[in-house]
A and B are shown apart, each in its own frame.
Chain A
């Protein structure tokens, strides 16, 4: 009967594990109301800021993380008739047009918009309000270039020169959002007619393509912990700051820097909006104001490694010392992006991957 006893033991063991499962949400608490914020996986915030907001407004914040930017937006659009949240944060300018077309947002003219420069306000109806921006730039391994006595390329054109052969790794725009952003930078620079010729030039100059940012950065790039073979990688303008914050062993200056020539970086702007049909309009407005206010705006850089849009917010020192902000980042009209995304990626695939 040993087997039977053991079988029961297995069952008991399982039950025990099940018992310490995360408890089901208790019946709606009578106290604070709940405000649900739908967002992407990269969302992060300091705990004490959230607790303060909750106390001041007698509200319980629930963050529903729903995959990456595309997945989260997809869910918001698919569930717009029975919204699963009150606020949506994280749609960026490459997906903005899709969100606005689907009409998932209620307009809200927050008083804090006054502190935000006009270049970030892409939705005149104020359904989607800008929260942060970040640039997708080429990062380079400072030590590599110093040691070889090689000048750092200053522009997209420079990357075609023979001395940089085989030195750049980028990501497939079909599977990676920085990859897509870099593709758009080249379209902004060379136009829809010229960008493919430019990419052909990059391929001829030994371009390396990875599927995702993690592989490109940690496996191929020589300036990261992976110690790969390429000294230049398509990453974020804020990555050098992250290399300092998460350095091991600690260090003062970043091992990497960004190439910020004209149109070399593509600017991503992220938006927040109140979801149509919310029962908590007043609270949702307060939360949007909270996100646009200086406390949250100054918290973002070290939590999500993005830049505040509120011009009153100050950047942390590690950003000021290590991050280059492009004077003329590349941008494209969201409507144009939405109409052509698929076509551009397909054409790119034909040229670069075939």
Chain B
């Protein structure tokens, strides 16, 4: 009886803070937009269901395909990262995280620099084989959308599944092998079932990210493809058709909720106890030639898929294309640092000029705050999820909803609702990291919850019996076990915040733009200098992010 009484308030308290946060910063603004949409419906507006169903069908189709492809690349990569030591592993892991932060305009530009009709690859092939037309024509196809989604999201699989894999007790697999199971059977009957929560989590996150994809579809898919999110943007901001935009948002949110509920049903609650593992336990150097081939092949694949567009971008930021104009196949180039130098000059005395260091500082400040907010709230929600309760089944999918809300809708909502001090969108600087935290929170919860659920009760009880205070037990039992997951979620919140553009463009004050906002400012005007500076700023964003991730990993004791 006492246990029940004690249990209920604890879960309620743990849920309380994150739910209040969601209510104020998610449901309130969203509700305001829906109310406006309904108010401006004005009775007789006619529309065809086709306008909703067509983008809906395409959204599911491309998200499903993208998720499968991402898993196909990410799972082997996660396995190899978790099981083998090889030179350059840490660097490669940081590099594979970087795509996650890039604004889509920049991704489009770097894909173009690599694969476009005048991209490095096409120029190379045309020169090598004396071709007249570029052999690779992937831009504006479904292929470009899928490729970009794999480029963006492989890191999610790599990190979420990878950290779970490292956390597995290697003795379980060893026991299976000793008992005579083949490696394949061990994988199928021991490793995969143990990984199921992490697998489902990462698949869900990747699917939802692809499901609400906006920039990739718009910029790389070209005008023939439209997801729900693209359609919402068109209706809300171009056609000013708020009712239809509201309806589309509602459909998108409903789908997100349904997918999340389904996912948590599939997941069940059969967490397997985890114990803190020693660093390096379960990993070994590459030995046989088969392993060399496996690891080497994967490294090459990751480099080609994830790192080469980044390299093309960095290269482009230091290349001046001097045209032999009109000569369509010969583009001469020269190396230059002018674009970086020019970033530091306010040539036209513009009021909104922002030095790159300051934009980087704004971005870092927002990202740091986002890490704090989302980790604090995520830890509360995840520990609530760890204690079994029927409410969890319904509350957990709720936490994932922000992933399904379009940045346009939420941005509009924020500005409509938060228009009076102290919560004034124009002056309250925390609104930007709060908006970022909404997106980061699902990642944090999804990464922390499996780790928290797996803490063996016996360990805690033992600590208590041996006289440890609850705080000490938490510090010495819980914390070491969840440290890895906490680290992964910190990296995610950090990168999500650094790269976010949609909501930031609504909420950030013009005097304090972030790096992505500054990149867009350059790209929105013609001129070689603007283009070069945009590429230079994007490269700076990459460097800032890479340093940030390295610092976080160093602080967390370089795990995963």
Binding site for B on A (CB under 8 A): 1-4, 6-7, 9-11, 13-18, 20-25, 36, 41-48, 50, 62-68, 70-71, 73-75, 78-79, 82, 84, 95, 98, 141, 143-144, 146-148, 172, 174-175, 180, 209-215, 217-219, 222, 224-229, 235-236, 239, 242-243, 245-249, 255, 302-303, 305, 341-342, 345, 353
Contacts and interface: CB of A to CB of B under 8 A. Distances in A.
A41 B311 CA distance: 30
A180 B486 CA distance: 47
Contact of A227 (B331, B412, B483): B331
A3 B483 contact: yes
B32 to A, nearest CB: 9
Given A22-B362, A226-B531, A14 B372 contact: yes
B87 interface: no
B224, B526, B529, B556 pick with most chain A CB within 10 angstroms: B526
Nearest to A10: B555
Contacts of B364: 17, 20
24 contacts: A10-B487, A21-B365, A25-B427, A42-B524, A45-B351, A47-B350, A64-B509, A74-B242, A74-B412, A75-B416, A84-B426, A95-B240, A141-B325, A211-B221, A214-B105, A227-B118, A228-B116, A228-B117, A229-B117, A243-B528, A246-B529, A248-B338, A248-B339, A303-B350
A141 to B, nearest CB: 7
B557 A353 contact: no
B44 interface: no
A13 B18 CA distance: 23
A36 B426 contact: yes
A20 B365 contact: yes
A228 B64 CA distance: 32
B528 A247 contact: yes
Contacts of B428: 24
B525 A353 contact: no
Contacts of B416: 75, 78-79
B223 A210 contact: yes
Nearest to A143: B325
Contacts of B266: none
A248 B316 CA distance: 14
Nearest to A338: B240
B315 to A, nearest CB: 14
A186 to B, nearest CB: 17
Given A74-B412, A98-B240, A228-B116, A248 B233 contact: no
Contact of A144 (B325, B352, B512, B531): B325
Nearest to A180: B238
Contact of A246 (B331, B483, B526): B526
Contacts of B322: 249
A246 B368 contact: no
Contacts of A226: 112, 116, 118, 531
A24 B348 CA distance: 28
Contacts of B350: 44-47, 303
Nearest to A36: B426
- Across the A-B interface, give the 5 residue pairs with the lowest CB-CB distance, nearest first: A17-B368, A246-B527, A143-B325, A147-B326, A172-B223
Nearest to A95: B240
Interface of B: 36, 105, 108-109, 112, 116-118, 139, 218-219, 221-224, 230, 233-234, 236-242, 320-323, 325-328, 331, 338-339, 348-353, 361-362, 364-369, 371-372, 375, 408, 411-412, 415-416, 419-420, 426-429, 433, 475-476, 479-480, 483, 486-487, 490, 505-506, 509-512, 520-521, 523-532, 551-552, 555-557
B238, B348, B411, B530 pick with most chain A CB within 10 angstroms: B238
How would you classify the secondary structure of chain B's contact residues: helix, strand, loop or mixed?
Answer: helix
Contact of B222 (A7, A50, A210): A210
B531 A17 contact: no
Contacts of A248: 320, 338-339, 527-529, 532
B348 A46 contact: yes
Given A20-B365, A247-B529, A7 B483 contact: yes
Given A9-B555, A24-B428, A175-B234, A14 B526 contact: no
Nearest to A49: B351
A239 B331 CA distance: 22
A6 B108 CA distance: 38
Contact of A215 (B108, B361, B412, B555): B108
Contacts of A342: 239, 241
A18 B365 contact: yes
Given A75-B415, A219-B112, A175 B238 contact: yes
A228 B331 CA distance: 11
Contact of B525 (A50, A305, A345): A305
A282 to B, nearest CB: 22
Nearest to A238: B526
A110 to B, nearest CB: 23
B236, B327, B531 pick with most chain A CB within 10 angstroms: B531
B372 A15 contact: yes
B365 A17 contact: yes
B549 to A, nearest CB: 12
A212 B219 contact: yes
Nearest to A98: B240
Contacts of A14: 368-369, 371-372, 375
Contacts of A17: 364-365, 367-369, 371
